[in-house]
Amino acid sequence: MYEVVIGIEVHAQLTTNTKLFCGCSTQFGDLPNTNVCPVCLGMPGALPVLNKRAVEYSVMAGVALDCTINRTSVFSRKNYFYPDLPKGYQISQYDQPLCLGGGLDITVDGRSKRIGITRIHMEEDAGKLLHQGADTISGSTHSHVDLNRACTPLIEIVSEPDIRSAAEARAYVETLRQRLLYLGICDGNMDEGSLRADINISLRPTGSDQFGTRTEIKNVNSFRSIERAIHSEVARQTALLQAGTPVVQQTRQYDDATQSTRPLRDKEDSHDYRYFPEPDLYPLTISDEWITHIRSQLPELAEQKAARYGELGLSQFEIDVLLSDPSVSRYFESVTALGGRPKDSAKWIVGDINAAFKETKQSFDDTRFSPDRLVELLALIESGKISGKMAKDILVECITSGKSPAESVAASGASQISDTSELTQIVDKILDQNLDVVEKVKGGKSNSADFLMGQIMRETKGRAKPDLVKSLIADRIAAR
């Protein structure tokens, strides 16, 4: 029997407006090679200038992951050749990183576990190669180089080898992503490569305290792929060890189509990179005051919000949906700040609004149905002007047309009838038309009243206020 040992390096792109060492935009999706300058193109003589906001965000990550923030850290050159790296080296941090020794609590199947964080360091990203004629570099005819991403700020968060299963690995990356999202320092968009994981996997006989030979699976960019890549690599290593074949230390790539890993290159050691201190940048020094300030300004994290929402009476399911993205919890908090009752607001956001936004491809951050509109809708329900069922139709109408709930109600003339004298007339009319049913109700057949209710709803096209109709039916029959 073997025990699985996993450590994960997560590369997270920081959401600064500009790059790590120059003023170029970090905007994703712009035309290739439009956000570039002599610094990020690696022109001789161009000098890097450190982005202060990127340092602030990195310190925030360190503080929020219980790390020690080094008062002095050093940028180093990591030397290697690749066409997406025009300088011939990446500016990173090596033996004196910004943050050391932290941890992150994860929960798997209701059991909580702390995964140690070895270090967090800052570095610049490389550019991007676009292979032409095939998906893979080996099958392509030629490749284009886009340097828009070159020099965008990253933090690399290195975990201890504390992870023991694919489920724990997934929970770790999910929890880490959520932590960074709620700090507001990374958009967590794995499709666009804003967050990617390198997974180190080795096996050892159960009970052993020696590590086995590990392989590293590079750039896994979805939660599903993380689990699948680990399952496939564990199966591969298990088969090798059982056959008495040693595992070779190497870097591998996971292919989702075949759900297997294949070798990229034999693993290089850090001395292959000829690290040396970056001569164009001073050592980075950080004052105690700045760290204290950053700590005091830390936004409310997902775990803290979850506890607070629980106290508001929300269910775990509602809490999970509200926290699934900061835009959703921001929307919820705007609604409650404007006077929406938490429980009602959550019910609408998690249910009908979430579904309607998905269908109309609107986001909680960018929608015509802004938080004040939901507050308006809730008030219309509360005042009895519309029923809950009518509100669902009005919601869809408002989301597609951009009208306010009050406008939508006025335009359709669809307000709920809650006027007692108006409803009494309708109830009397229906009772007169159904004298036999009235007799049945009088004789104790209370479910016959449901038939009368249905007739009244039909007469009013569903606009009658149900509880008022119910009491009127009872009163008017008793009065006969």
The smaller minimum CB distance to Zn ion, of residues 54 and 437, is found at 54
Minimum Å distance from CB 21 to Zn ion?
Answer: 8
Helices H / strands E in the chain, number of each: 16, 16
Phi and psi, residue 265, nearest 5°: -165, 155
Nearer to Zn ion by Cβ, of 87 and 373: the residue is 87
Burial class (CB in 10 A: 0-12, 13-18, 19+), 453: middle
Shorter beta-carbon distance to Zn ion: residue 40 or 350: 40
Nearer to Zn ion, 39 or 449 (CB): 39
CB of 126 to Zn ion, least distance (A): 13
Tell me the closest approach of the beta carbon of residue 318 to Zn ion, in angstroms: 44
Beta strand pairing status for 111-124 and 75-79? unpaired
Assess contact for 226 and 169: CB atoms under 8 A. Answer: yes
d(CA 290, CA 296): 10
Rounded to 5 degrees, what are φ and ψ at 452? -65, -40
Q: Which is nearer to Zn ion, 75 or 348 (CB)?
A: 75
Give 24 or 438: the residue with its C-beta nearer to Zn ion. Answer: 24
Of 37 and 291, which CB lies nearer to Zn ion in the complex structure? Answer: 37
Q: Which is nearer to Zn ion, 24 or 64 (CB)?
A: 24
38 versus 313: smaller Cβ distance to Zn ion: 38
Closer of 46 and 477 to Zn ion (Cβ):
46
CB 31, min distance to Zn ion, A: 15
Answer yes or no: are the C-beta atoms of 8 and 119 closer than 8 Å.
no
Q: How far is the CB of 93 from Zn ion (least distance, A)?
A: 20
Tell me the residue type at 397: E
| Distant-in-sequence contacts of 276-283, Cβ < 8 A, 24+ apart | 276/76, 276/77, 277/74, 277/75, 277/76, 277/77, 278/48, 278/74, 278/75, 278/76, 278/77, 278/91, 280/47, 280/48, 281/48, 281/50, 281/75, 281/91, 283/72, 283/73, 283/74, 283/75, 283/96
Q: What angle do CA 10, 11, 15 make, to 5 degrees?
A: 130
Rounded to the nearest whole angstrom, what is the least distance from the CB of residue 46 to Zn ion in the complex? 9
What is the contact surface with Zn ion in residues (CB under 5 A)? Answer: 22, 24, 37, 39-40
CA atoms within 13 A on the CB side of 231: 12
> CB 39 → Zn ion: shortest distance, Å?
5
Structure tokens of 45? 């003589």
The least CB distance from residue 191 to Zn ion, in Å, is 24
Mutual angle of helices 420-433 and 435-442, in 10-degree steps: 100
Least separation in angstroms between residue 42's CB and Zn ion is: 10
Q: How far is CA 138 from CA 5, 134, 436, 443, in A?
A: 32, 8, 84, 86
Closest approach of Cβ 80 to Zn ion, in Å? 21
**Sequence-distant (≥ 6) Cβ neighbours of residue 21 within 8 angstroms:** 39, 40, 48, 49, 50, 51, 91, 124, 151
In the complex with Zn ion, which residue's Cβ is closer, 39 or 180? 39
Q: How far is the CB of 41 from Zn ion (least distance, A)?
A: 7
* Both structure tokens of 56: 């602030």
